[in-house]
Structure 1
Amino acid sequence: MLHPVKMQKIRLFALKPAADNLIRDLHSMGIMEISVSQRAGDLEEGRPLGSFDEISKQHVRMRGIKNALLQFLPKNYETGAGIDSSAIPDSISSAKGITIDSRLKELQEERAKVENSLSRLREELLLANRISYFENIDFTALETKTTGSVLGTIRREKLADLQEALAKVPGSESAFKMLYLIEGDTVLVLILYKKGYDLDPILNVAGLIRIILPQNLGYPQKYILWLLHEIKSNEKRENEIQSEISSMAAEHYSRVSALESQLSVEADRAEIASHFSSSNLVFIIEGWLKKADVAVLEKSLGKYDGKVQLQEIRASHDEAPPTFLENPTSAANSVQFMTEDFSLPRASEIDPTFIFFVTVPLLYGMIVGDVIYGIMSIFIALFFMKKFANSLLMSSVSKLWLFSSIPAILFGLIFDEWAGMSHLHILEILEKWGVLSLETLGIHEPLYLGLSRLHNVATLLAIMLYVGMIHLAFGFIIGAINEWHHNKKHAIGKLAWIGVELGGYITIGAFVLNAVPADLGPFGGALLGISTILIAWSEGAAGILELPGIAGNVFSYLAIAIVGLVGTILAELINSLFMPLPSQGLMVLVFFPLLFALHMINAFIAMFEAIIQGGRLNVIEFRFKFTQGDGRLFAPFSVSPTERNISR
């Protein structure tokens, strides 16, 4: 739980006749990550199996057919149901037997042409309907040797200017004729003119936007009838094509989908042989698996009657094992994404997942620190869990949010905060509404004294500094444990950072802040000096340059107090302005929903900030004190990602 699963590197020696069956068994078991074998002596570099090219070819064909048919399946068709791909004895022959791809391609190309034609015809229909106002004009007869026409639109306020400009042209009464249709803010204009006149300057000033007409337009009404006929004819053909492809989909999709799945598996199996090294008689497979699975694999190889031998080998010095995280379900489902996605630890390092499972909710609780907001947090987290059930990341964040709600309630009790009020304040408000009587209950003073954040700011800040120092010191201790078996010098350096923390605190507290007895000042200075020397010895100049950063790391934990205080201040402000009381009469109908809404907004902001700040302090300030974080996730050779034994 606190360490990734122990991994073992192995080497398999197998006779070539056993290749196909062994690859199939390894793929089905899904427990071994296969790496590229190192060549030695007369061994040759691995190559894919001879069937790889044909498998890949048929796989691409089946995938193309599947994607083409998918959109034409009946609405009630269950894509998850169908033929079991493992029941297909010869996938290559079966794939070759499906020959609908050429016809399917023809139909798709024709369908694309029909769709383009329909799009063009419908656009022309819109234009024809628009100019049908000029129903008695044959547009094909407007262009002659002596006459021309211009059709376009102008803004309505430009109409009078255009008419005036045309009227000023000499001989305009016989040279021009303008017809127009007002369409809201625009005007559809048709100008008939004798050639020899340059209208472009006038039309440009008017801002006319020309409309290009189809060449065979003729009379608008007749053209509209022809367009409707063509559209109907094309729509009929489109339906015929769709019907034929739908029939193909209903008949072939299940088998094509099963073949595509099976060929994908077989392509993986054929391609993996390129990772092997081989001789004329033997091929060698190297890779990683969990230490506990070595016996499982060894037992399964017994059926090969000695044709396959397993050897446990030691990895080279520069070869790191893959990382496989194994945590309790609650931790794996809520915070493991933080470990995997934000710099995975090496297989030899401590797995911080379960530590995050404890520290992230604690920091969240310290920031939110309100009983009622904690209860709201539960319902908001449940809502997000349901809404993002299909999102791995958001589902994990929502579960972490839910777990973190409990510490928020507990710290709310410690701080005595109930939506920005003390427990006694809430009881007094309930008494004003006649819900209870404090006299009857015998309550004359607070039931307990909480650590009010607003009235104990200095104490709160001091506590958060202690929390930061302890949290970081814990990180350095884990770092020392990680390094102890690899480099004791670096392990001592990790522990020296704790001395810097403690020595710096004692020295400053004694000589500057008077928070520590002055007699301890020299001891703190000595501890700080010795720790600094040890860091210089173990980490060199880089460690010395990082010394000022440790103070920044500790002070960053003040964000816990500051963000929490801001939320508390806003909550009290909301209560002082909008708390509904019986004396307010009908205004309580306004104040009740307003109070609830504002507290929901404030609570959500506090929760969001708590997740961000808590995550930042754990992932950045804390984790980098003990992990190098360049691990590689264990990815076994497996039939499907869901069988890769990766805890997500």
Structure 2
Amino acid sequence: MFTPTEMCKVRVIAMRDDAAQVIKSLHEWGIMHVEDCSASDISHGKPLESYESISEQLVRIRGIEASLTQQKNVRTIKALPLPQLLQECKKIDCDKRIAELQAKTEEINRRKHDISEKLKLAETLSGFSIDFSQLTASSSRVKFLLGSVPEGKIIALREKLSPLGAEFLVKTHAGKTIALIAVESTADISEALNISGFSEIEMPKFEGKPRGVADKLKREDAAQGVELKEIKRELGKISEKYYERVAQLREMLEIEEQRAEISAKFGATDSLYIVEGWVDSRKLEKFTDYFNRLLTGSVLVKKIPYQEGTAPTLFQNPKAVLPFQSLIAFLTTPKSNEIDPTMVYYLMFPILYGMMLGDVGYGLISMVIAWLIIKKMPGLLADIGKIWMFAAIPTIIFGVIYDEYLGFTHSHLLEAAQNMHLINLESMHLSLPLYHGLHRMTDVNSVLLIILFTGMAYLAIGFFLGFLANWKHNKAHAFAKLAWIGIEVAGVLLVGGFLFNGFPSAWMPYAGALGLISFIYMAKVEGIIGIIELPGFAGNILSFARMLAVGIASVAVAEGVINKMLVPDPALLAKGDIGSILIFILVTLGFIITHLFNTVLGMFESIVQGSRLNYVEVFSKFYKGGGRFFTPFSVSRTYTSNHLKEGGS
């Protein structure tokens, strides 16, 4: 729980003739993280001979599946042996017809695009009762220009071109002015057209008047649509017939491809294959026994030495901790020989978060927001939602301690409820206040002191974990971590005693001695690096003061802004007029929205600051990260079943 699973590196030596059986067993069992063979005097293997034929069929089957419509309720079948699988793939003969239908679809879509462009032009020119094909074939003495003119400039264009004998035919379509100009071919009218903003339209090549052409094009487009529907219908029938089988074959081929190419990681001789990788040490005996039973007398499984910290990391955390594990892994994975910080994060982050957000109302709102995120968002975002959900509980608890309920005190809310005749405190034998909370706006020093002591305690936990992490490797460095705790305790006693008279003066000599001895030992072991880090250690403690700043900012907005400017007044409803009711509704909406925004802002600030304090200030005392995940060579099935049970039986 506090450390990753202990791994062992194993080497499996088997006959080349048994390679397929060994690979299949490893794949189905899925407990070995396979790596490249480390033996320097042995060459690497190659993909199995079946790899090429598998890949060829897989590319074809994937292409077919991508062209089919996905079907529901695909049945699960027993996986086929490779020879039978390849034969079954060859029986899937719908790819030629699918290719024909796809080519036909592309051609129809190209035609529809051409029709669409022509139709757009024909509709633009539908106001002209002219066969434009006749104009293009007219006398070479006259040239025709077709184009759009900005609104209000057509008159000026007429005035400029009329002296040149130009004739105009003007129509309007969809707010645009379309002009057809006839002028002598020798006339130079380019300058006048440019000044007027004339945008030339290519003279249409279709025969007939635009309105009739448009009607014809619409009929052609509809006919093309009918063809597309027929193609879609046929593809649907092909999908109904073949999709299930194709999906099953594709999955089996993918599994066989993984098996065929994994052998490239093996060491190989003329007669042997050598497989190396990592296995959970708790499963090693079972792993060895299985292969001895599978290949009696022709396989050797043995542990091999490895450099500490090079094993892949396999977490072993309870289910409740998994969202925190996801965030740890997202940032940096612990090495296999490090303390896994997930449990520390799980225990401490919600406390830091709750101390910052610390409002009963905001805790309840954040719980609802977190629930929505969990329901709607996938992956890491859902895990963050679960972290927010869990952290909402200490937020509510600290809200009670701080006496903060959407920025109000409990006395304010109960008085308001009594004034609205919702409760009767006297009949309930209650008098206000029910308790005195630790209000962050007025008890700043007390809250800051609590936060700093929390930070120091957490740093001490970090150093103690550093002691445990170093104990196996370097006992001197391990005790140096404890020396940092001595420096911390001595510093607290000395500062608290001399500056604030918080501790008895009789303690001071002992505190000084503890600090001096701890400093000397730390400096001796860690050298100049440790001495340089001493001011940074004070900074580590003071970094926790940011928690107070985050909390006060949230309280200031809630109490000093929202609750003074946007509190709904029930008296407005009592007036009964529409204006008062509307004002009440708007103020209520403003109150809800601003508190919601302040909650979301506080949630983000608290998770960022809480995570930063964990990673930067505490985890650095015992944790470096930079590990890699344990990813066993394992099979994933959706449409096929495994006929080998765990352990190969």
TM-score with structure 1 setting the length? 0.90
Task: Write the letter of the residue equivalent to 1:424.
Answer: S
Report which stretch shifted further, 536-545 or 628-637. Answer: 536-545
**1:608 deviation in Å?**
2.7
Task: Write the letter of the residue equivalent to 1:275.
Answer: K
**1:67 deviation in Å?**
0.9
Partner of 1:429: 416
Unaligned runs of 5+ residues in structure 1 are none
Q: 1:146 aligns with which of 138, 141, 144?
A: 141
Asked if 1:387 is matched to 2:376, the reply is yes
Q: Would you say the 8 A contact 1:155–1:185 is kept in 2?
A: no
CA distance in 1, matches of 2:519, 2:153: 83
Q: Would you say the 8 A contact 1:433–1:581 is kept in 2?
A: no
In the superposition, relative to structure 1, how do residues 214 and 137 fare at CA in structure 2: closer, same or farther (>3 Å)?
closer
In the superposition, relative to structure 1, how do residues 440 and 102 fare at CA in structure 2: closer, same or farther (>3 Å)?
same
Report which stretch shifted further, 425-434 or 157-166. Answer: 157-166
CA distance in 2, matches of 1:140, 1:499: 102
**1:629 deviation in Å?**
0.2
Partner of 2:447: 460
Partner of 2:260: 270
Q: Would you say the 8 A contact 1:342–1:619 is kept in 2?
A: no
SS at match of 2:127: helix
CA distance in 2, matches of 1:218, 1:57: 54
TM-score with structure 2 setting the length? 0.90
Partner of 1:406: 393
In the superposition, relative to structure 1, how do residues 114 and 380 fare at CA in structure 2: closer, same or farther (>3 Å)?
same
Asked if 1:93 is matched to 2:87, the reply is yes
**1:543 deviation in Å?**
4.2
**1:150 deviation in Å?**
1.5
Asked if 1:627 is matched to 2:623, the reply is yes
In the superposition, relative to structure 1, how do residues 309 and 157 fare at CA in structure 2: closer, same or farther (>3 Å)?
same
Task: Write the letter of the residue equivalent to 1:365.
Answer: G
Partner of 1:577: 565
CA distance in 2, matches of 1:219, 1:94: 59
Q: 2:242 aligns with which of 238, 252, 267?
A: 252
SS at match of 1:48: coil
Q: Would you say the 8 A contact 1:489–1:538 is kept in 2?
A: yes
CA distance in 2, matches of 1:520, 1:208: 95
Partner of 2:35: 35
Q: 2:153 aligns with which of 138, 149, 158?
A: 158
Task: Write the letter of the residue equivalent to 1:18.
Answer: D
Unaligned runs of 5+ residues in structure 2 are none
Asked if 1:610 is matched to 2:606, the reply is yes
Q: Would you say the 8 A contact 2:13–2:272 is kept in 1?
A: yes
Partner of 2:100: 106
Q: Would you say the 8 A contact 1:432–1:581 is kept in 2?
A: no
Partner of 1:180: 170
Question: What is the aligned-residue identity percentage?
Answer: 34
Q: 2:333 aligns with which of 326, 329, 344?
A: 344
CA distance in 2, matches of 1:212, 1:537: 88
CA distance in 2, matches of 1:102, 1:416: 74
In the superposition, relative to structure 1, how do residues 305 and 189 fare at CA in structure 2: closer, same or farther (>3 Å)?
same
**Residue correspondence of structure 1 range 289-304 to structure 2 within 5 A:** 289-301=279-291, 302-304=293-295
In the superposition, relative to structure 1, how do residues 462 and 147 fare at CA in structure 2: closer, same or farther (>3 Å)?
same
SS at match of 1:134: coil
Partner of 1:311: 302
Q: Would you say the 8 A contact 2:132–2:203 is kept in 1?
A: no
Partner of 1:638: 634
Asked if 1:58 is matched to 2:54, the reply is no
Q: Would you say the 8 A contact 1:371–1:409 is kept in 2?
A: yes
Q: 1:127 aligns with which of 118, 121, 129?
A: 121
Report which stretch shifted further, 210-219 or 523-532. Answer: 523-532
SS at match of 2:449: helix
CA distance in 2, matches of 1:39, 1:199: 85
Q: Would you say the 8 A contact 2:131–2:207 is kept in 1?
A: no
> In angstroms, what is the RMSD of aligned CA positions?
2.7
Report which stretch shifted further, 542-551 or 116-125. Answer: 542-551
Partner of 2:74: 81
Q: Would you say the 8 A contact 2:486–2:514 is kept in 1?
A: yes
CA distance in 2, matches of 1:592, 1:123: 53
Partner of 1:21: 21
Q: In the TM superposition, what whole-angstrom CA distance separates every residue of 1:275-329 from its partner, at most 9, and x where no partner exists?
A: 1112222221111011111122123221322222211222135x61110011111
Q: 1:561 aligns with which of 534, 538, 548?
A: 548
In the superposition, relative to structure 1, how do residues 576 and 226 fare at CA in structure 2: closer, same or farther (>3 Å)?
closer
Q: In the TM superposition, what whole-angstrom CA distance separates every residue of 1:401-450 from its partner, at most 9, and x where no partner exists?
A: 11111111111121122222222222211111112222223333422222
Equivalent pairs, count: 628
**1:508 deviation in Å?**
5.0
**1:537 deviation in Å?**
4.4
Report which stretch shifted further, 587-596 or 274-283. Answer: 587-596
Q: 1:240 aligns with which of 195, 220, 230?
A: 230
Report which stretch shifted further, 428-437 or 235-244. Answer: 235-244
